Chains A and B, each alone.
Chain A
C-alpha cells in the first residue's frame, strides 16, 4: 500500500474489535451486528464513523462483548474494499508468514 493510495479522497471506514471471550477479530456489520469476516463489514463515510464508533463502543463494552474497539481506513483496490494499512490487512486476513492460519485459511 503506497502513501498515495492511502490518502485517496473519499475513503471509507470500518469498525473493528477483538471479541472479549476468545479475542477473535470482529467487524461491525449491517444493523449493528458484529461479523467475523471483513467482507461482511459495514463501511461508513468518514463523517459518520465517529458517531457510529462511539455508539458501538458503548454497547460492546456494556455487554462485555468486545475490547479494543476502533475505526480504520478502507480504500478500494480493483473495485473491492480493502483495509488501507498493512496492519489492518493482516488483522483481516491472518499472518502473512502463515497463510494457512487465521481468517485467510477459512
Chain B
C-alpha cells in the first residue's frame, strides 16, 4: 500500500508481520500489540528496528512503558470516523514523550491528513489507487490554525497560528 510522508508517496522500509508468521531479524518489521504482549521476551537483543501496531481501542497508556523498544508505533483507524487515534498519537507525543515514527493505518482519508500531522503522526498508509494530489493538497490548502498542537506553527495574533511552518 502507498505510504504517504511529508505530503508525498514515499518508500516504505517497514513491513507488517501477521501474528503467527516468523519475524525476520534483519529488517524493520511491525508486529501487533497483542503479539508483543504475548511474546515480548523473544524480541530481547533484537538489532533490527521493531514497530508495534495498536488496534483502534488500544490507547497510548497501554504501550507507554515499552515505548523505548519501538522505532515505530502504528495506530489503527478501524473506520475513518473513529477519531480515537488522534488522541492516541497526541498522548504518545505529549504525555509519554515518544519521538519515533507514528503511522496511521486502517481507514483514513486525505481530508484528515492535516489533523494527523497536527496530532503527531509522521506517516500514513493510504489505500491502493489513492489520489496523491488529494494528500498533497491537504497540507497546503489551509494555512491558519486556531489552536496549538504538535506541529510547528507560528503565532499570528490572538489564537490564530500559521500552519506549515516546519
Contact flag (A, B; Cβ within 8 A): no
Partner-B contacts on A (CB < 8 A): none
